[in-house]
Amino acid sequence: MSSENADAGNEHSAPVWDVVVVGAGPAGASAAYAAAVAGRRVLLLEKAELPRYKTCGGGIIGPSRDALPPGFELPLQDRVHAVSFSMNGRFTRTRRSRRMLFGLVNRPEFDAALVEHAQKAGAELRTGATVSRVEQHGTAVPDRRTVAVVLADGEVVLARAVVGADGSASRIGAHVGVKLDQVDLGLEAEIPVPPTVAEDWAGRVLIDWGPMPGSYGWVFPKGDTLTVGVISARGEGGATKRYLEDFIARLGLAGFEPALSSGHLTRCRSDDSPLSRGRVLVCGDAAGLLEPWTREGISYALRSGRLAGEWAVRIAESHDAVDARRQALNYAFAIKSGLGVEMAVGRRMLTLFERRPGLLHAAITGFRPAWHAFADITRGVTTLAGIIRSHGVARRALDALDRRIEG
């Protein structure tokens, strides 16, 4: 809906939106859709022009698919039925599945389609809008029910509630006071390949457990392009770059010129990190919400974005700070009881993976129940936390490994 239809704010001539969402990635688009489909006036701000590239493998696992808006058509580039696992280029073994494990998308198309869905639900999009800060007190704020979103050019946008979905270097996250527990560096290359090479990779991905603790690499096929990337703990920049170069060379892809090379920091929240401040919520990367072991973030962005949009509507309707605070606490509880539990198990898995990558490799390639668990997680049949909770053998094994690692 256009800003002309938004309420005028008291003596201020600027319109007051019900919900302003900052950042038009999967988290922001999901939040904007959830708020707009509830019939609220929603403004979605994005600093870039769409579509825009993001450093991301583009894997759409079951939880991501299940969190998409009704009627959303995934722009899949490939459907994965096989996974090859290796340890720094050695001990390669491929596991296959009759049913699709997960799908692969190009992020520019996927993100733009999500935004279009939010717009169809009634959200208004503004691109080229860089947010410098948000204010909940001061001269820019007409009353206690309003938040001022200040753009880089000095323009002030007013809202009853704000959702920060502006990525891992979030300005809104800084306002909320998000605290980070784990920071990793991902490097990626988009490599166009001839048809004969593309055919070899069709329907199959590669996951390579890397040479640095907690690191791994991936190859995701997308038609005539392979997305090749690696990730490891920040502070290992030189080693991470060498890992990517060696990885590409081992795969026989060094002779092909990448169409794009990029880097990105992923950030996981600490357990006690806030998810709100006043009438401002954060979700997705801006909140540090992603799976600590695999650093998978799309499903976390979609799920937390939807929750943030739903609770932002309730905050927008709150007439005082006490009720707004109650709704924000409800949002935090919803995040922590779902995604937070999954992240806690992911942290334990990362610790195990850092110390004993060979054990995980042997289990997933040689122990059929472990492969079935992997397949069920990627399809969305269950979660990592669900596996540990419902399977006594898995829970006892992880507990025993925890004790061995601690000892």
pLDDT by residue (tens digit) across 51-97?
Answer: 988 888 999 999 999 999 999 999 999 999 999 999 999 999 999 99
Residue 63: half-sphere exposure toward Cβ, Cα within 13 Å: 24
Range with lowest mean pLDDT among 179-193, 201-215, 223-237, 390-404: 390-404
Is 218 within 8 Å of 102 (Cβ atoms)? no
Is 53 within 8 Å of 260 (Cβ atoms)? yes
Report the share of the chain in percent with pLDDT over 70.
Answer: 92
> pLDDT band at residue 388, thresholds of 50, 70 and 90?
confident
Instruction: Name the token pair of 154.
Output: 């000095």
Residue 383: half-sphere exposure toward Cβ, Cα within 13 Å: 19
Element (H, E) at 19: strand 15-22
- 260-287 residue pLDDT tens: 999 999 999 999 999 999 999 999 999 9
Instruction: Name the token pair of 242.
Output: 């060498």
Strand partners for 76:
105
Q: Please write down the long-range contacts of 152-159, taking CB distance under 8 Å and 24 or more positions apart.
A: 156/14, 157/14, 157/17, 157/20, 157/43, 157/45, 158/9, 158/12, 158/14, 158/15, 158/16, 158/17, 159/16, 159/17, 159/18, 159/19, 159/20, 159/43, 159/279, 159/316
Residue 366: pLDDT above 60?
yes
Provide the CA 209 distance to its chain's centre, in angstroms.
Answer: 21
Cα dist. 137→134, 153, 169 in Å?
A: 9, 20, 23
Instruction: Name the token pair of 376.
Output: 């069920």
Q: How much is the average pLDDT of 178-204?
A: 97
Residue 407: pLDDT above 60?
no
> pLDDT band at residue 3, thresholds of 50, 70 and 90?
very low
Residue 13: pLDDT above 80?
no
3-state secondary structure of 137: coil
> pLDDT band at residue 383, thresholds of 50, 70 and 90?
confident
The label of the residue with tokens 């920060």 reads 164
Residue 47: pLDDT above 80?
yes
- Rounded Cα distance between 117 and 186, Å, is 29
**Can you give the pLDDT at residue 389?**
75
- Rounded Cα distance between 83 and 93, Å, is 8
- Rounded Cα distance between 58 and 48, Å, is 19
- Rounded Cα distance between 85 and 96, Å, is 11
Average pLDDT over the chain, rounded to whole? 92
Q: pTM surpassing 0.75?
A: yes
> pLDDT band at residue 4, thresholds of 50, 70 and 90?
very low
Residue 193: half-sphere exposure toward Cβ, Cα within 13 Å: 26
